[in-house]
Amino acid sequence: MAAPKQPTSNSFKKLQGFLRSRMGQAIADYGMISEGDRVMVCVSGGKDSHTLLDILRHLQRSAPIHFDILAVNLDQKQPGFPAHVLPEYFEAIGVPYRIVEQDTYSTVKRVIPEGKTMCGLCSRLRRGVLYRVAAEEGATKIALGHHRDDMIETLFLNMFHGGRLKAMPPKLLTDDRRHIVIRPLAYCPEADIARYARYREFPIIPCTLCGSQANLQRAQIKEMLQTWEKQWPGRTETLFRSLQNVAPSQLADPTLFDFGGLESAQIVPSEDDGIDTDLEAEFNPALALFDGGLPVGAGGRDR
Ligand code: SF4
């Protein structure tokens, strides 16, 4: 198999430069990679993980620090999985790699009723195997191909179906504190990744070989976001910025902000403090709520 195409058109170079700079920025902003790291890049064969590996390898060559990359693919034994594609590709581009064979497919088929989406359990099992492999390989970081749009979709999924304001972080310490997961594509829009993968003609392996039903809830949210983006270009980017700009005091979670401890500065004016209350009310419409004066105990006159 030949290495991926390197088109020469200006539009490709612009796109490549954009994705490289976005990834570099995300890595810097979240301290994703440090000197001497061994980064295990999980490659499923989809457009996102191919793009992740490709751009991260470029940054590896130009970065001021040294870090190693190990590409890992998990062969889950789905029927029809083209097991030769990724090893041939990794050989062609000259990246160190490991293929892990583990039949999670049979387990998922056995446990999930026919016609139901299998992706939840499939992903959990895959994650477990990948964490084990990371430990075996001495990987200090596990890089996943989730991008900006995945993170926004997850935010809405959690809000709509879980009642939680929670997304998917760019960098995560696993619950057992043994692994750090990074998402270097966190700032990259999915549409640009898809365009990049088409330009490069990566050997894509579809994630539908298992015959799982699509995750309907995620598909609906994706459609909602795409409709918004068409109507109001830039909305997804604005939504993403909101994840980076959180104001706990303007939400309603008492575990994040000490609402109980809030106290106003009690300013008690003297009889002749010179404040013209009518004039004050003119500039502070809220005072009108108190029928021309401040309530007792809030610095206003007694009635
Ligand atoms: S589509 Fe199939 S292989 Fe992909 S995550 Fe879902 S269950 Fe797993």
Burial label, 48 (beta-carbon count in 10 A; 0-12, 13-18, 19+)? buried
Give the Å distance between the CA of 118 and the centre of ligand 1: 6
What is the 8-class DSSP label of residue 108? H
Distance CA 50, CA 221 (A): 24
Any atom of ligand 1 within 6 Å of the Cβ of 208: yes
3-state secondary structure of 42: strand
Question: pLDDT tens digits, residue range 109-134?
Answer: 899 888 788 888 998 999 999 999 99
Neighbour-count burial for 142-172, b at 16+ CB within 10 Å, e otherwise: bbbbbbbbbbbbbbbbeeeeeeeeebbbbbe
Altogether, the residues listed in the chain come to a count of 303
pLDDT in tens, the chain (303 residues): 777 878 899 999 999 999 999 999 999 999 999 999 999 999 999 999 999 999 999 999 999 999 999 999 999 998 889 999 999 999 999 999 999 999 999 999 899 888 788 888 998 999 999 999 999 999 999 999 999 999 999 999 999 999 999 999 999 999 999 999 999 999 999 999 999 999 999 999 987 777 776 778 899 999 999 999 999 999 999 999 999 999 999 999 999 999 999 999 877 666 555 555 555 555 555 544 444 444 333 443 433
* Pocket-testing residue among 207, 213, 217, ligand 1, by greatest number of atoms within 8 A of Cβ: 207
Nearest to 157 by CA among 87, 83, 217: 217
Question: How many Å lie between the centroid of ligand 1 and the Cα of residue 208?
Answer: 6
Q: In what order do the strands lie in the sheet with 141-143?
A: 97-101, 68-75, 38-42, 141-143, 180-182, 171-173
List, for residues 137-160, the tens digit of each pLDDT value. 999 999 999 999 999 999 999 999
Is the C-beta atom of 112 inside 6 A of ligand 1? Answer: no
| Predicted local confidence at residue 296, as pLDDT | 38
Indicate the DSSP class of residue 90: H
**Which ligand 1 atom is at minimum distance from the Cα of 210?**
2
What gap in Å lies between CA 125 and CA 77, rounded to an integer?
Answer: 13
Quick check: CB of 125 below 6 Å from ligand 1? no
Question: What residue type is 205 in one-letter code?
Answer: I
Nearest CA to ligand 1 atom 5: 119
Q: Which domains does the chain have, with CATH numbers?
A: 10-250 (3.40.50.620), 264-303 (no CATH)
Q: Could you give the 3-state DSSP secondary structure of residue 264? A: coil
Q: What is the dihedral of CA 115, 121, 122, 128, to 10 degrees?
A: -170
Q: Please tell me the residue having the least CA distance from ligand 1 atom 2.
A: 210
Q: Could you tell me if the CB of 210 is within 6 A of ligand 1? A: yes
Structure tokens given for 73: 């693919």
Determine the atom of ligand 1 nearest the C-alpha atom of 211.
Answer: 2
Ligand 1 near 157 CB (within 6 A) = no
